[in-house]
Amino acid sequence: MTLEQWSVGGRGFGTVFVFLLLAGEIYTTFTFLGGSGWAYGRGAPAFYIITYGTIAYIMSYWLLPAIWRRANKWKVLSQPEFFATAYDSPLLGKLVALVSIAALIPYLVLQLKGLGIIMSEVSDGLVTSTAAIWIGTAATVVYVVLAGIKGSALNAALKDILVLVAVVGLGIALPYAHFGGIGAMFDRVIAANPTFLVVPETGQSQSWFISTVALTAMGFYMWPHTFGSIFSARDAKVFRRNAALMPLYQLILLFVFFVGFTALLVVPGLTGSDTDLSLLRIVRATYGPWVVGFVGAAGVLTALVPGSMILMSAATMLSRLIRPANTQSATGSLTLARALVPLVAGVALVFTFQGGSTLVTMLLMGYSMVTQLFPALMAVLWKGRAASANAAIAGIVAGELTVAALTLSKSTLATLLPSFPHAITDLNIGVVAMTLNVLAMLVVAAGSPRRSVGLQSVGNGVN
């Protein structure tokens, strides 16, 4: 096996396989536990989860083939290499790699934590959270090292089947078992709390919804493992077909919501981060060990499969940072990447066992960090060789510094601009980072020497 085969499957995957890969990344423990947790704890704002994914799929019809054609021509293996080649800037490639690896760690931690929660809940404490995390991590490491991306695609298929059955089954069975139907369940929710299922006037309001959906849709494909999955396709048509199919797959989230709402009525009282337990709690409260075990198995896979893709992505990027593509043997690179897998897993484990609210903070940082790569991507897709590497670097640095500063200081637009109307202050804080990112790009692009002969229109440098 070469590194290319290990990481992008030799670029021969057809529609179904790519669908499984991309879909496999979407259904993570965030969706399984977090989606029902948000429905339970927040109500209508949880609907952003279905919305942003669908919008990302619409974008993908044009975006992914454009990325694929370039990646295929340049024979790049990873997102950092893509940027480095597109902008003819190894420095930019390294920057993207650092941002990506930094963002992946909290994402991996989330999966490992979810794994711990699931296994200890399902076994009723028999398997401790700590033991579960060690076992799961070890299994993932072994699997990734041996099988690479093909293993992940097959695992994704199994996971998707189990999740589909579990979520759709529970989403229908639980409301019927407790209330006699889905409509009846919603009647009860509305009776208990009439404003829960519409977006509120302040807080997570309309402007929060729109800004969050827009930002996360932009960040959707910017995760390095997602971006890397694009390279594995046989041809660009694969993505166009998937753009039409994937929205249907998003509808599974509807059933996740049904579970969360039913849980709110049946096992109330969970608050804060404990809302993530809602799906498991209601399953345990309603069904016997076989169902609980089945749901647990599905849940475990929703942690392991994305976890393995994240691990592989991080290991590949690290290996390329250490040992650039033009040196020595292909198998040497593969060995290095494989050796790095346990190292990355180890770093994630350290953070996983620390726990506390800092993990939520870190995950939100992770998502907002990768979203900052979007303007640089659009600039190079749109302007090709005329796009300025310095502008991209400036934009990304400005965006990342803003994200870090705002998240660590726990600022929101409400704290920054207290006298502004709530339509402004409710906006997702990522809007600030994105704005500064784009501004920095435009300013530096205006001052940079042109890379190629031809017009460089400054006024609308991005899209």
Applying CB under 8 A, the residues found at the interface with other proteins are 44, 47, 50-51, 54-55, 57-58, 61-62, 65-66, 69-70, 73, 181-184, 186, 190, 194, 197-199, 205-206, 209-210, 213-214, 236-237, 240-241, 243-245, 247-248, 250-251, 254, 257, 381, 384-385
Inter-CA distances, 202 with 152, 182, 256, 414, Å: 42, 28, 25, 11
Nearer of residues 346 and 421 to other proteins, judged by Cβ: 421
Could you write out the DSSP letters of every residue in 290-319? HHHHHHHHHHHHHHHHHHHHHHHHHHHHHH
Residue type, 426: D
Inter-CA distances, 447 with 393, 435, 443, Å: 14, 19, 7
We find the least distance from the C-beta atom of residue 29 to other proteins, in angstroms, to be: 22
C-alpha closest to that of 378 among 58, 68, 63: 63
Nearer of residues 107 and 249 to other proteins, judged by Cβ: 249
We find the least distance from the C-beta atom of residue 28 to other proteins, in angstroms, to be: 19
Nearer of residues 26 and 348 to other proteins, judged by Cβ: 26
Q: Looking at residue 35, what DSSP letter applies? A: I
Helix (H, G, I), strand (E, B) or coil at 233: strand
We find the least distance from the C-beta atom of residue 248 to other proteins, in angstroms, to be: 5
We find the least distance from the C-beta atom of residue 54 to other proteins, in angstroms, to be: 5
Please, are residues 372 and 400 in contact by the beta-carbon 8 Å criterion? yes
Give the integer Cα–Cα distance in Å for 176 and 329: 59
Q: What does residue 233 show for φ and ψ, rounded to 5 degrees?
A: -75, 150
We find the least distance from the C-beta atom of residue 119 to other proteins, in angstroms, to be: 32
Q: What does residue 13 show for φ and ψ, rounded to 5 degrees?
A: -80, 135
Helix (H, G, I), strand (E, B) or coil at 355: coil
Nearer of residues 86 and 334 to other proteins, judged by Cβ: 86
Look up tokens 């974008």; give the residue.
Answer: 59
Nearer of residues 356 and 455 to other proteins, judged by Cβ: 455
Nearer of residues 68 and 294 to other proteins, judged by Cβ: 68
CA dihedral 234, 239, 241, 243 (to 10 degrees): 160
Nearer of residues 40 and 143 to other proteins, judged by Cβ: 40
We find the least distance from the C-beta atom of residue 459 to other proteins, in angstroms, to be: 19
Give the integer Cα–Cα distance in Å for 23 and 153: 10
Token code pair at residue 365: 């940082």
We find the least distance from the C-beta atom of residue 363 to other proteins, in angstroms, to be: 24
Q: Looking at residue 450, what DSSP letter applies? A: P
Token code pair at residue 60: 């993908």
We find the least distance from the C-beta atom of residue 151 to other proteins, in angstroms, to be: 30
C-alpha closest to that of 234 among 18, 440, 44: 18
Nearer of residues 73 and 410 to other proteins, judged by Cβ: 73
Token code pair at residue 3: 């590194």
We find the least distance from the C-beta atom of residue 147 to other proteins, in angstroms, to be: 31
Nearer of residues 63 and 280 to other proteins, judged by Cβ: 63
